[in-house]
A and B are shown apart, each in its own frame.
Chain A
């Protein structure tokens, strides 16, 4: 240590418990005694590279400020639009044509149906029936299409499980034919379901057929329709369906599968 006269030269530092050391007054201040002097600054000059970095930073920051500020008013809301951004906007989902019907249907499902039927298709026990493995979904396309178009109320037994009084709203006013067809295609091919896709034309036909039917279905109505009834116009040789609740038959020429 520095010049503390009555302190015998201490051995150079070693690690270890020092309880054997003396407790003279100066050791109580040992920490302070061995400190170095207070810090001070040196005067190295700025290197040119630093100045270049500063210049670049200022330029970038200023350029950003200039480009994205928009007019200095309270009305030009963030972000200011730039044409090149708009091109990128469709990027995430892609224009609709590039998605398959099932992918489009998944979008429709996640935005409209998943709240109740869950993305896993299992529904919620006691409340919302499952779609995975549901006989109403996987058999003929007529039943599920009817349910989606006009809604369903009242008790219902699905996969042997009784559901009480859940209410499914009709979607004929809020979803287009294409969307209904897509979501049906999706649920009929997801979660292990393997059933035929559904086309927009089929839905359009059914919509016309049911145009005069204003009410929601109940279980009896749906069960009255044969399980394997397909909508006309579909690929698996859509059989003309038996009389449903008195709606007139529409014989449609077979159309290419949508």
Chain B
């Protein structure tokens, strides 16, 4: 990477960062080529998001009112919960991530996407795989492993779909133009390669040549954790590394921090995962290794956080205007919180209390929603106008989406953390009957349902707004949709 020629602190004229005409034309061509595949990914992702949200509602309400819609086999809580988790993971988050990843890869590699039909086919197969898998869960074909509940035949469909999609993305990278590989591309290539490796390893070791006994659990937790960090987290961080400097027009603060952040992130995050089974029937060294790796993730957390913060420094006020920046910075900050919480929760003395409680649910949602999904929302707000040639129509809807989602996930996290701690300390106190630990969490579960209403509202608003864009009902304008009126003339807030 060559150093930028601009002074880093307070460049005088942002006009110098505007693109040249050839760049514009090139980008227009690239965007036109990615249009249908990426829109297909986004549309599918949003449909799955809505379905998953409905399931989340059912799961949340049935947790404190178990007789609701009771006694129908495919609506029992134990099937709705994995259905919800898998729809959100493989339906919503993965497809949104792949859509964003393909667009980013095309832009950064400065290559046009050739043969989009293959990617479209891949996306259709992926949809099929998720549909088959979720249907299987609802009729009772659950493999028993968290985030791997899809039966092997659905997993195979997903794998084939992925192979079609991602080999194209990797080829784009192989034939990239330009000397340098930007940070985002490291993260994206990492994610695109790691996912099939980890998925194949998990499927092989659990279903094809199954390992014995508790090793199944170890493999499952290793996979789930790697999925969170090396697939979702990597794509999310890569996206943030693109969106933040792009929107504000300044370079990323430090190349060294970015390098260190990337490699330590991958190295340490991939080793965590077994702290979920602290004190479990495993050799001590495995669990301790996971916990030590979790402690060491302080390095990437601090590094990435600092890098983003220093890049943004002096420009936080732009979050008032840009939807993309708002969502992305929220997500990046959530990563810091998520990471710190993860370290705390893995220390043995704390893990003892929170194992087996709702705290794990809070932690997962902090990661998958507050961190990954919010960054993906931000990327969609940036990318979709460039694909459909319209701007987002109603700034109010964007603001509603943001606040409902932010408050929703914040409330949910707080409720479940507090409730989980109460539940955990009751469980550890043998003078309290087990029932009391369950009873103590009920009010918090109801609070979570309230949060769920907020989040559902956010999703439906977003889906409606996206639908408008899809049918060409956005604004035709040369001005982006700002979230608040831009005050003065002469303020350089081109976005």
Report which A residues bind B (CB closer than 8 A): 1-3, 10, 12-15, 17-19, 21, 23, 27-46, 50, 53-54, 57-58, 60-62, 64-65, 68-80, 92-93, 99, 103, 106-107, 110-111, 114, 119
Contact = CB atoms under 8 A, between A and B. Distances in A.
Contact of A44 (B8, B285, B431, B475): B8
A93 to B, nearest CB: 5
A40 B479 contact: no
Contacts of B476: 18-19, 21, 23, 27-28
Nearest to A54: B299
B27 A32 contact: yes
Q: 10 closest A-B pairs (Cβ-Cβ)?
A: A18-B477, A110-B433, A39-B245, A30-B478, A70-B284, A65-B292, A61-B296, A15-B485, A44-B254, A36-B249
A20 B293 CA distance: 58
The binding surface of chain A is classed by DSSP as: loop
12 contacts: A1-B494, A18-B478, A30-B478, A35-B24, A36-B19, A37-B19, A41-B255, A42-B254, A44-B8, A44-B253, A45-B254, A65-B292
Contacts of B423: none
Contact of B242 (A39, A53, A68): A39
B399 interface: no
Contact of A93 (B31, B299, B429): B429
Given A3-B21, A15-B484, A44-B254, 14 more contacts: A13-B482, A14-B485, A17-B475, A18-B475, A31-B385, A31-B389, A32-B24, A35-B24, A35-B246, A36-B19, A38-B246, A43-B255, A103-B431, A110-B434
B395 A15 contact: yes
Given A39-B242, A61-B292, A46 B254 contact: yes
B15 A37 contact: no
B288 interface: yes
A76 B182 CA distance: 45
Contacts, number: 228
B208 interface: no
B487 to A, nearest CB: 10
B490 to A, nearest CB: 7
A110 B432 contact: yes
Interface in B396-417: none
B256 A73 contact: no
A110 B284 contact: no
Contacts of B279: 78-79
B282 interface: yes
Contact of A27 (B18, B310, B477, B484): B477
Contact of B252 (A2, A37, A40): A40
B435 interface: yes
Interface string B357-380: 000000000000000000000000
Contact of A41 (B258, B429, B477): B258
B493 interface: yes
Contacts of A99: 431
Interface residues of B, number: 90
A77 B428 contact: no
B442 interface: no
B251 interface: yes
A177 B387 CA distance: 79
B284 A92 contact: no
A33 B108 CA distance: 17
Given A40-B182, A43-B255, A92 B288 contact: no
B303 to A, nearest CB: 7
Nearest to B255: A41
A242 B339 CA distance: 71
Given A18-B477, A42-B255, A44-B8, A92 B28 contact: no
Contacts of A75: 283
Given A38-B182, A61-B295, A64-B291, A46 B302 contact: no
Nearest to B241: A39
Contacts of B241: 39
Interface of B: 1, 3-4, 8, 14-15, 17-19, 21, 23-24, 27-28, 31, 107-108, 180, 182-184, 241-242, 245-247, 249, 251-258, 260, 277-289, 291-293, 295-296, 298-299, 302-303, 306, 310, 348, 385-386, 389, 391, 395, 428-436, 475-480, 482, 484-486, 489-490, 493-495
A67 B153 CA distance: 44
A42 B306 contact: no
Given A10-B478, A31-B386, A79-B348, A42 B430 contact: no
Contacts of A36: 14, 17-19, 246-247, 249, 494
Contact of B246 (A21, A39, A106, A111): A39
A19 B475 contact: yes
A92 B494 CA distance: 60
Contacts of A3: 21
B149 to A, nearest CB: 26
A249 B98 CA distance: 84
A64 B475 contact: no
Given A32-B27, A34-B494, A57-B295, A65 B182 contact: no
Contacts of B285: 69-72, 76
Nearest to A29: B28
Contacts of B495: 34
A79 to B, nearest CB: 5
A43 B245 CA distance: 14
B477 A64 contact: no
A92 B291 CA distance: 25
Contacts of A93: 429-431
Contacts of A76: 283-285
Nearest to A81: B284
Given A32-B28, A43-B3, A119 B19 contact: no
A50 B298 CA distance: 11
B477 A32 contact: no
> Which of A14, A17, A33, A45 has most B Cβ within 10 Å?
A33
Contacts of B431: 93, 99, 103, 106-107, 110
Nearest to B383: A31
A38 B108 contact: yes
A32 to B, nearest CB: 5
Contacts of A53: 298-299, 302
